[in-house]
Structure 1
Amino acid sequence: MMAAAECSTSCCGSAWVTIRREGAHVHWTDWENNGGDGKLPLEFRFDADQYDAELARAAAAWV
């Protein structure tokens, strides 16, 4: 789950995505949205090294 409303997923909706690593890329696919207008991206593809660096940066910000 990428995001959900504070009330509940059945009330205001939530967004789901499948994240998988394939070689030098990270893919976000198979989006689901049970709220809002239902518009969804087809796929995002990221460079795996850049993705890992951004995850590390975000994790360090939470410390």
Structure 2
Amino acid sequence: MTIEAHLATLEKKHGALEQELHSALIQPSMKDQDIADIKRRKLRLKDEIEKLRSSSH
């Protein structure tokens, strides 16, 4: 897989987590721990995306 394809995949996953987070925030039954988990996963993806972008330049 090329770096560009990998970046596209990671960005797609990041967008999906953004949607999941938005849905979780509007659901009053969602636990704070579950929301924190989504945020952590999103941050890890963002870090990986940034790392790939900086290494590809």
TM-score, length basis structure 2: 0.36
Rg larger in 1 or in 2?
1
Taking structure 1 as the reference length, the TM-score comes to 0.33
- Looking at secondary structure, tell me which structure has more helix per residue: 2
Greater RCO, CA 8 A, separation 6+: 2
